[in-house]
């Protein structure tokens, strides 16, 4: 990949100076370790920076569900991340602008004579479809892409996209020791000149709104350095299944999801920690879970639209349906299971839930309440501050038995999980959760595909 700062001839320099680039931030909200930023900067003399999540531009909805309102914590966290990105760009005398519709983007391209657009490689079916639509609408534009969301590039993988292994174990065996993770890229020394633009831009001032979990009010770099400045990584495997507490997990998933941190930055910090404090089974387990995240990204690319279909990778659909009252009870934390209710209260108030908690509430959703897993996945999509299309839908399919789990799904005994992870009832008490009797009623009209 050419650098933005290579020595080039005068004719090439003249062509580059005339080209105007548009960088569309999606799930790569950072300047450091940004391969696409370097790629576009090497080809353009001027750049406009825009943020708009591709699913907001999409004309290919991946679900048939009624529209859902985004959880308040998601909005707070997203805004904080964009403010931080705007500050990073301000160091280069650039602004971060915002759009909300695909028509705005096409108008912008014409108004400012954009010649090149940079969009990071996507792994979700809806996002990929949106990029295809943009290319169809703007056939005269040069589009540039790079891997900004994964540990590995497609070229590094020892298999074709269509041959992504059917299970995580197979994926790990093929990649863990044979694929080298490239070093992170430093911040650019300089960027091409900005283009004066009258679009709305993101403020450099914080809104002052805070999330109830103080950890998530840090910047991405503060969170990364803060975690690895402690010895928490050395006991990660013993603490990772807790439901709450200080640094029981890395807590880095929200910044990984929106790209304020790259997976390679986390891996690089992990290696630095191991050199400083020593490697053990716990530090390896952090890498192990980065590999799980990686697997879901490439599996989503292989699955395409089937990531959102009822039967997923299975030959037969689950024996579940949709019951409106059960669904609402689960969303609002009003089921007959206090631990599930406490976990849903945690999600609704903070926008986050531990990995173990997610497994418990998803298992309850599918197995106890016998609900269509897609409804639960869609609820998480709108309420998790660390929502990632591949990880979210891949994990829900895994629990429902229509994904990459060779055992055909997971069913957690909620009473046993309560005894193991909340033996004193402190977590349940904290969220004032209780058992609620529920008289289920059926609902007809759920989409079948």
Better pLDDT: 16 or 355? 355
Cα dihedral sign for 159, 165, 168, 172?
A: negative
Q: What mean pLDDT is predicted for residues 21-36?
A: 97
Which pLDDT score is estimated for 439? Answer: 61
pLDDT at 421: 96
Between the alpha carbon of residue 176 and those of residues 236, 237, 287, the distances in Å are: 20, 19, 10
Cα-based angle 337, 338, 343 (whole degrees, multiple of 5): 105
Six token digits for residue 240: 């990772």
pLDDT above 70: percentage of residues in the chain: 91
Q: Is the pLDDT of residue 67 over 80?
A: no
Asked if pLDDT for residue 6 goes beyond 70, the answer is no
Does 444 or 277 have the greater pLDDT score?
277
Q: What is the pLDDT at residue 315?
A: 86
Q: Band of the pLDDT at 9, cuts 50, 70, 90? A: very low
Mean pLDDT computed over 5-11: 39
Which of 247-251, 307-311, 357-361, 439-443 has the lowest average pLDDT? 439-443
Rounded Cα distance, 11 and 15, in Å? 7
Rg (CA), the chain: 22
Q: What's the average model confidence in pLDDT over 428-449? A: 69
Residue 125 and residue 62 in contact, taking contact as beta carbons nearer than 8 Å: yes
3-state DSSP call for residue 144?
strand
What is the arithmetic mean of pLDDT over 325-332?
A: 95
Gap between the Cα atoms of 274 and 267, Å rounded: 11
**Of 30-34, 39-43, 92-96, 434-438, the least confident:** 434-438
Task: Give the per-residue pLDDT at 3.
Answer: 33
DSSP state at residue 231: S
The mean pLDDT value for 273-292 works out to: 98
Most confident of 192-201, 342-351, 405-414: 342-351
Residue 63: pLDDT band (50, 70, 90) is low
- Tell me: pLDDT of 179 over 70: yes
Mean pLDDT, residues 316-320: 89
Residue 136 corresponds to which tokens in the numbers above? 């169809």
Q: What percent of the chain has pLDDT over 90?
A: 81
Q: What mean pLDDT do residues 394-413 have? A: 88
Domains of the chain: 10-148 (3.40.50.620), 150-183+220-305 (1.25.40.80), 324-430 (1.10.579.10)
Q: What is the pLDDT of residue 69?
A: 84
Q: How far is CA 403 from CA 166, 294, 347, 375, 406, in A?
A: 9, 15, 24, 16, 8
Confidence check: pLDDT of 173 > 50: yes
Q: Is the pLDDT of residue 235 over 70?
A: yes
Is the confidence at residue 231, as pLDDT, over 70?
Answer: yes
Length of the chain: 449
DSSP annotation of 368 reads I
Across 188-216, average pLDDT: 93
Report the DSSP pairing between strands 20-25 and 116-118.
parallel
Least confident range of 51-65, 143-157, 212-226, 290-304: 51-65
Q: Is the pLDDT of residue 377 over 70?
A: yes
Q: Please give the C-alpha separations between residue 309 and each of 156, 168, 373, 388, in angstroms, as whole numbers.
A: 29, 20, 10, 17
User: What CA–CA distance (Å, rounded) separates 241 from 284?
Assistant: 16
The predicted pLDDT at position 375 comes to: 94
Note the pLDDT of residue 59: 62
pLDDT of 7 > 70? The answer is: no
Mean per-residue pLDDT over the chain, rounded: 91
Give the pLDDT confidence of 107-134 residue by residue, as tens digits. Answer: 999 999 999 999 999 999 999 999 999 9
Residue 45 predicted with pLDDT over 90: yes
């Amino acid at each position: 990949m050419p650098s933005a700062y290579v020595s080039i001839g005068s004719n090439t320099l003249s062509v580059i100076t005339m080209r105007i680039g548009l960088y569309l931030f999606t799930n790569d909200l950072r300047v450091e370790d940004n391969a696409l930023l370097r790629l576009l900067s090497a080809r353009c003399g001027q750049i406009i920076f825009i943020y708009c999540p591709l699913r907001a531009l999409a004309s290919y909805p991946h679900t048939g569900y009624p529209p859902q309102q985004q959880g308040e914590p998601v909005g707070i966290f997203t805004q904080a991340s964009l403010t931080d990105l705007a500050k990073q760009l301000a160091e280069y005398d650039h602004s971060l602008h915002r759009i909300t519709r695909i028509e705005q983007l096409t108008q912008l391209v014409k108004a400012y004579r954009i010649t090149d657009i940079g969009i990071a490689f996507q792994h979700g079916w809806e996002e990929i479809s949106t990029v295809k639509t943009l290319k169809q609408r703007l056939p005269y534009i040069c589009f540039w892409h790079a891997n900004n969301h994964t540990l590995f590039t497609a070229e590094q993988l020892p298999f074709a996209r269509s041959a992504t292994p059917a299970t995580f174990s197979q994926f790990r065996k093929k990649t863990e020791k044979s694929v080298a993770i490239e070093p992170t890229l430093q911040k650019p020394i300089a960027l091409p000149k900005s283009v004066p633009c009258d679009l709305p831009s993101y403020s450099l001032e914080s809104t002052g709104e805070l999330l109830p979990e103080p950890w998530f009010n840090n910047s991405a770099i503060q969170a990364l350095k803060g975690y690895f400045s402690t010895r928490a990584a050395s006991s990660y495997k013993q603490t990772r299944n807790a439901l709450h507490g200080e640094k029981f997990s890395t807590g880095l998933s929200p910044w990984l999801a929106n790209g304020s941190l790259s997976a390679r930055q986390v891996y690089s910090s992990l290696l630095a920690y191991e050199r400083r404090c020593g490697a053990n089974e716990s530090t390896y387990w952090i890498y192990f879970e980065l590999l799980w995240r990686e697997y879901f990204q490439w599996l989503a690319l292989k699955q395409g639209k089937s990531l959102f279909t009822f039967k997923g990778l299975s030959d037969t659909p689950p024996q579940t349906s949709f019951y409106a009252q059960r669904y609402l009870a689960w969303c609002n934390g009003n089921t007959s299971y206090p631990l599930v209710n406490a976990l849903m209260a945690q999600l609704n108030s903070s926008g986050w839930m531990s990995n173990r908690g997610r497994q418990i509430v998803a298992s309850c959703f599918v197995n106890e309440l016998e609900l269509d897993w897609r409804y639960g996945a869609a609820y998480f999509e709108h309420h998790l501050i660390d929502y990632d299309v591949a990880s979210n839908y891949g994990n829900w399919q895994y629990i429902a038995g229509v994904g990459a789990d060779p055992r055909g799904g997971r069913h957690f005994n909620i009473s046993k999980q309560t005894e193991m992870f909340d033996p004193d009832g402190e977590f349940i008490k904290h969220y004032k959760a209780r058992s609620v009797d529920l008289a289920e009623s059926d609902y007809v009209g759920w989409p079948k595909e």
